[in-house]
Amino acid sequence: MAPSLSTTLAGLSLESCIFNASGPRSGTDSALSKVATSRAGAILAKSATIEEQTGNPLPRTWQCDGVASMNSEGLPNKGIDYYLAEETITSSKAGTDKPYMLSISGHTLADNVEMLKRMGDNPLIDAVELNLACPNVIGHPIIAYDMEQLEEALSTVSKLKLKKPLGIKMPPFFDGVHFAAAAEVINKYKKSVAYVASINTIGNALVVDVHAEMPAINPKGGFGGISGPAVKYTALANVKKMRELLDPSIDIVGVGGVESGTDVFEMLLCGATAVQIGTKHWIEGPACFDRIAGELEELMLKKGYKSIDEFKGKLKPWSKEGVALSRKAKKAAGETALVSTKAGGGAGAGGSATMSAFCAVLVMIIAVLLADKFDALSLKLGANF
């Protein structure tokens, strides 16, 4: 029997603890419907503004497969009324009963208030995520890095007495003082904030095209937000620290660099209640949710876990015993990978089998090259004697 990936986020029941981050492939009902029919546990729409907007000038994205991605999109979206429309929501849910979650990112606090008022008690919307972390809107600061702005935003929103669970998307923090300051503000509004999503992209990165001697993207002089595998370790630290500092009533959603079931497991172990996937969804498409859910189930079966609650938030302290256990497990995994490769691989051995096959081919190539070299050397020696 497969282990359960279900969770309860902000009072909402999710069949799977993974779902899409607000970002690429979440801007239209057709894109969201593909998320709905995957193993994602919820559907989160693109961060909306008051009016439809096209975003920053192109090119505004960059990718280095397996390392990182960067974007400076500038919140292209169809405007709040599109994501509130019954037709959009019904189409996005694609006949499922998965929670439909709204994301908003107004240019001003007044914009956010207006969008929340338009949402009202719309019965088709299950939760709303307030983006306080976007670094890609030209001329606008990241609200959650300014504690006075963060306080003002949460104070104002709390007075609206929202009928829907409220989540807030946070930027990455890097210093203990900033973690503590942000958590202190958020905890004041624990009756209003149902969850915190950490982290958004790491802002103000720059990729240089060495051939053209220019930035890799156009907007903001080439500065953009980094996402993908490179940010996972910062995301894990933010999830763990926020779980330590925030009131237990506030759930944590882990996001940043998640590409596999193992990555999801790590986020949950650090205290996340659910995990969002952005960059991998952008690159791989909604099939990533099926793959990652399967990988998480496989890992849980291997470890003997029947539900995520059995290990969620239970990261153990470092110990010599843990090091020994890790070495033993890694050695066993290596032996298993070799057996799986010899047997033709399997559902859980795809990556190991591919790597082993690559190594085998590489060894053959080297052997041929060395043989040719030795043959040539033998002929030369024969000619000299």
* Nearest CA-CA partner of 24 in 2, 44, 41: 44
Query: Encoding tokens for residue 223?
Result: 């500065």
Say which residue, 145 or 352, is predicted with more confidence: 145
Confidence of residue 138 (pLDDT cuts 50, 70, 90): low
Q: Residue 366 above 50 pLDDT?
A: no
Q: 293: helix, coil or strand?
A: helix
What digits encode the pLDDT tens for the residues 150-171? 999 999 999 999 999 999 999 9
pLDDT at 21: 98
In which element (H, E) is residue 129 found?
strand 127-131
pLDDT average, residue stretch 202-229: 96
Q: Mean of the per-residue pLDDT values for the chain?
A: 89
CA angle 159, 274, 314 (to 5 degrees): 110
Q: Residue 229 above 50 pLDDT?
A: yes
- Using CA atoms, how far apart are residues 351 and 231, in angstroms rounded to an integer? 22
Confidence of residue 339 (pLDDT cuts 50, 70, 90): very low
Q: In the chain, what are the domain boundaries? A: 7-310, 319-385
- The catalytically annotated residue of 17, 134, 270, 288 is 134
Strands 127-131, 100-104: parallel, antiparallel or unpaired by DSSP?
parallel
Q: Residue 12 above 50 pLDDT?
A: yes
How large a percentage of the chain has pLDDT more than 90? 82
pLDDT at 136: 57
Q: Residue 123 above 70 pLDDT?
A: yes
Give 170-223 as a DSSP string: E----SHHHHHHHHHHHHHTTTTEEEEEE---EEEEE-EETTTTEESS-GGGGE
What is the identity of the amino acid at 111? D
Q: Residue 376 above 60 pLDDT?
A: no
Task: Evaluate whether 238 touches 182 at the Cβ level (below 8 Å).
Answer: no
CA dihedral 93, 95, 97, 102 (to 10 degrees): 10
What digits encode the pLDDT tens for the residues 296-314? 999 999 999 999 999 999 9
Task: Evaluate whether 254 touches 233 at the Cβ level (below 8 Å).
Answer: no
pLDDT average, residue stretch 52-78: 94
Least confident span in 64-73, 78-87, 131-140, 142-151: 131-140
pLDDT at 342: 38
Active-site annotation holds for 134: yes
- Using CA atoms, how far apart are residues 45 and 67, in angstroms rounded to an integer? 26
pLDDT average, residue stretch 4-24: 97
pLDDT at 343: 37
pLDDT average, residue stretch 312-338: 88
CATH number 3.40.640.10 is the correct assignment for the domain at 7-310: no
Q: Residue 355 above 90 pLDDT?
A: no
What digits encode the pLDDT tens for the residues 162-212? 999 999 999 999 999 999 999 999 999 999 999 999 999 999 999 999 999
The residues with which 62 forms a beta bridge, in sequence order, are 70
pLDDT at 25: 96
Task: Evaluate whether 195 touches 130 at the Cβ level (below 8 Å).
Answer: no
Q: Residue 351 above 50 pLDDT?
A: no
Rg (C-alpha) for the chain, rounded Å, is 24
Distances (CA, A) of 61 to 17, 70, 109, 207, 283: 28, 6, 27, 10, 12
What is the identity of the amino acid at 99? P
pLDDT at 177: 98
* Nearest CA-CA partner of 257 in 242, 237, 271: 237
Q: 285: helix, coil or strand?
A: coil
Confidence of residue 334 (pLDDT cuts 50, 70, 90): confident
pTM for the structure as a whole? 0.86
pLDDT average, residue stretch 24-38: 97
Query: Encoding tokens for residue 120?
Result: 């009202």
What is the identity of the amino acid at 169? K
Q: What are the contacts of 86-93 at 24+ separation with CB within 8 A?
A: 86/124, 87/29, 88/29, 89/29, 89/124, 89/125, 90/124, 91/29, 91/30, 91/32, 91/33, 92/29, 92/32, 92/33, 92/36, 92/43, 92/45, 93/33, 93/36, 93/43
Say which residue, 338 or 272, is predicted with more confidence: 272
Residue labelled with tokens 């802002």: 203
Q: Residue 381 above 90 pLDDT?
A: no
Confidence of residue 144 (pLDDT cuts 50, 70, 90): very high
How large a percentage of the chain has pLDDT more than 70? 85
Confidence of residue 135 (pLDDT cuts 50, 70, 90): low
pLDDT at 146: 92
Q: Residue 288 above 90 pLDDT?
A: yes
